[in-house]
Structure 1
């Protein structure tokens, strides 16, 4: 089994405010299906109200990010699936629920994780 990250940036979700409760419920329904199917690992959204910290090897923390991740936000889930085809299926379900395209990325295999 392989773990897949399915995600979208916050600005991709262009949904009228009145539709947000329905979108949220549709997304939660897909997550409930993933849990019932036994493929759910983790899901959530990054809290945009809490600024990120960059922590150096010596433990020093600064209130900044790598330039290429400055706008890293939005929602994501991690599913453990038997194939890329299965991941495409779940990504499509989430795209429909969230009303925006999803990015699909595959985690590299690490026998320790």
Structure 2
């Protein structure tokens, strides 16, 4: 199985009227419940609207994003499914619930970390 990041940009939901937010919340939580029940949900959430902090490889901390940054992530879901087509189906459900376009990207596998997690969690 492959993990996919499904995300939307900050501000993508700004068009939703205040009175519709309870329905959007319920619809999006329903998709999460469906994904959990289907065994494909890994993790997800919305990001607070705020300026990010950037940490360089040398440890230097600066405010960001930089002014030339046009888009930042507003929310995301990570799912684990067998095919890209399956990921696109889940993205369509999320897009309908959140009333905004979703971006779908495949996460790079990291077998070393996955093996470490399996071994560590099996010991406890």
Taking structure 1 as the reference length, what is the TM-score of the superposition? 0.88
> How many Å separate the matches in 1 of 2:46 and 2:69?
15
Unaligned 5+ residue runs, structure 1? none
Is 1:25 aligned to 2:26, yes or no? Answer: yes
Change beyond 3 A, Cα 1:71–1:33: same
Match of 1:44 in 2: 45
2:95 touches 2:102 (CA, 8 Å); kept in 1? Answer: yes
Q: Is the 1:8–1:76 contact (alpha carbons within 8 Å) kept by the matching residues of 2?
A: yes
SS of the equivalent of 2:64 reads coil
What's the RMSD between the two structures over aligned residues? 1.7
* Distance in structure 2 (CA, Å) of the matches to 1:106 and 1:67: 28
Q: Runs ≥4 in structure 1, deviation > 6 angstroms?
A: none
User: Aligned partners of 2:21, 2:2: CA distance in 1, in Å?
Assistant: 31
The alpha-carbon deviation at position 12 of structure 1 amounts to 2.1
CA radius of gyration, larger in: 2
8 Å contact kept, 2:5–2:105: yes
Match of 2:109 in 1: 109
Q: Give the total of aligned pairs.
A: 112
Return the TM-score normalized by structure 2: 0.81
